[in-house]
Amino acid sequence: MGADTEDHMEVEDHKEVKVEAVPESRLVYDGFSPDYLRIYYGRLFPYAEMYKWLSYGHDGKHPGCDASIMGRREFSFTLEHDIYIRYLSFHDVSEMEATIKSKCPHKIDIGALYNVEPAKRTAYAGGSDRVFAPVERELVFDIDMTDYDDIRTCCSGADICLKCWPLMNIAIKILDTVLREDFGFEHLLWVYSGRRGVHCWVCDARARRLSNEARSAITRYLTLYKGNENTTKKVSLTGPALHPALSRAYEICRTYFEEHILPNQELLNSEGHFEKVLELVPDESVRAQMRDRWQDNRRASVAKDGISASRWKQLKQALESKKVTPSVRRSLEEIIFSYTYPRIDIEVSKHMNHLLKAPFCIHPKTGRVCVPIDPQDCDNFDPTNVPTLAQLLNELNAEGVKGGSECRDLDKTSLGAPVRLFQTKFLEPLQRANKAEITALHQEKLQEVSAKTSLSW
């Protein structure tokens, strides 16, 4: 993210570009460029769906609507050359669309809903009795693949592949289950970050109104992996049995560990890797026994199942033996959790005023769209096959060559399916809940007015 700058800084306006279908024979799009981005914002970005989401039912004229909702929501833009503009807001979908098309942001971040319009915040500074403060914000989570670099052997940094992506599937499944079953939240939006991780937006009214203290408490409840690069043991389990939430998560973690993480990352194939696992076993005799067997390098006997899988069976047998202490047996669970349990960016979740990248942005480093993920089908999500900006524009060109205008541009491209997923799996159930809440609140206000009127007589 670029350095913070005030929203009044002078930024040269982007010239409007007339968007026309370009015959594929004349132009083939590749990579990422501001010109391509203007076409994307001009023809494909789902403004209506985004506005319906963030207005939470307050986008109509029916009784009970608060017309100020979107005008108090903070957006920030990162423009070309890392020019960063905060405290933007829009009064309606037309203003939102016109501003995005005009500024052509390389990234859009969504912030909190404030007590006043962000542009008027200066009136609430300098000793005033009034304070500019956030009043609502989705409960958000950010899981970044770089936080797993100590266990990944296939990739590092911003790189990802299908061998390490199951780590994100684990995070999605565990967090989605905990947030729904333990906290009762229903309206969760999972989004691919466009490069190396996933975001979760919890959009229930109750979640949006949580205090910073409550957000911190939920984050602590979801945090198991602790420590830094200098800490050998980052998962420590206490008590005679696992907490019910951890017991439920363990079944997910164990399955993914044995079927994906262990073989994909070759965790026990070499001495350099298996020593990191053995460091988590608090019994030198067990560690010595495993080293003796594994350094003997009898690969012929383990070739059928794979080296890591065979060695893991041997280690499990040793750790589950009745001859070892309870703490040593517990290390089996600690190893699995250490290599699989979600690693949340705590700072993103615990403060109401934190900004997070908007869905359907284009990541400038990869050109990929930040598309929604169905948590019930996340195993089939392939981050390497996500639509890219260049791909979408080439699809538009191909459709332009074929002709026909019976459907909108969005549905002519591979972005149509992710937007439909957003609409059907997330937005429609959320809109029903929004309508019910607004109607209920309006009825309460009418009853209060009626009660006061009758009392006054």
Q: Report yes or no: 58 and 69 within 8 Å, Cβ to Cβ.
A: yes
Per-residue pLDDT at 441 exceeds 50: yes
Supply the pLDDT for residue 130: 77
Q: Is 134 helix (H, G, I), strand (E, B) or coil?
A: strand
Q: Report DSSP state, residue 20.
A: -
Joined together, the tokens standing for residue 3 give: 């350095």
Per-residue pLDDT at 332 exceeds 90: yes
Supply the pLDDT for residue 443: 77
Supply the pLDDT for residue 22: 41
Global pTM reads 0.89
Give me the architecture of the 34-221+345-443 domain, per CATH: Alpha-Beta Complex (3.90)
Per-residue pLDDT at 341 exceeds 50: yes
Q: Give me the residue spans of the domains in the chain.
A: 34-221+345-443, 244-340
Q: Report yes or no: 390 and 36 within 8 Å, Cβ to Cβ.
A: yes
Of the pLDDT bands very low, low, confident and very high (cuts 50, 70, 90), residue 131 is: confident
Query: From CA 88, how far away is CA 96, in angstroms rounded?
Result: 10
Per-residue pLDDT at 386 exceeds 50: yes
Residue 74 annotated in active site: yes
Query: From CA 206, how far away is CA 50, in angstroms rounded?
Result: 20
Per-residue pLDDT at 415 exceeds 90: yes
Per-residue pLDDT at 23 exceeds 50: no
Residue from 49, 59, 109, 144 carrying the catalytic annotation: 144
Residue from 49, 59, 74, 334 carrying the catalytic annotation: 74
Termini Cα distance of the chain: 61
The pLDDT of 118-127, averaged and rounded, is 80
Of the pLDDT bands very low, low, confident and very high (cuts 50, 70, 90), residue 184 is: very high
Per-residue pLDDT at 5 exceeds 80: no
Supply the pLDDT for residue 33: 85
Of the pLDDT bands very low, low, confident and very high (cuts 50, 70, 90), residue 407 is: confident
Range with lowest mean pLDDT among 129-138, 266-275, 365-374? 129-138
Segment 44-102, tens digit of pLDDT: 999 999 999 999 999 877 778 898 999 999 999 999 999 999 999 999 999 999 999 99
Residue % of the chain over a pLDDT of 70: 86
Do strands 84-88 and 356-357 pair parallel, antiparallel, or not at all (unpaired)?
Answer: unpaired
Supply the pLDDT for residue 303: 52
Q: What's the mean pLDDT when you consider all of the chain?
A: 88
The pLDDT of 245-257, averaged and rounded, is 97
Supply the pLDDT for residue 6: 39
The pLDDT of 356-368, averaged and rounded, is 95
The pLDDT of 304-328, averaged and rounded, is 92
Residue type at 314? Q
Range with lowest mean pLDDT among 113-117, 142-146, 406-410, 441-445? 441-445
Supply the pLDDT for residue 444: 75
Residue 144 annotated in active site: yes
Supply the pLDDT for residue 9: 38
Supply the pLDDT for residue 297: 59
CA distances from 48 to 31, 53, 329, 402 (A): 27, 9, 54, 27
Residue 320 annotated in active site: no
Residue from 49, 97, 109, 142 carrying the catalytic annotation: 142
Cβ neighbors of 47 (< 8 A, separation 6 or more) are: 93, 96, 97, 100
Segment 148-163, tens digit of pLDDT: 999 999 999 999 999 9
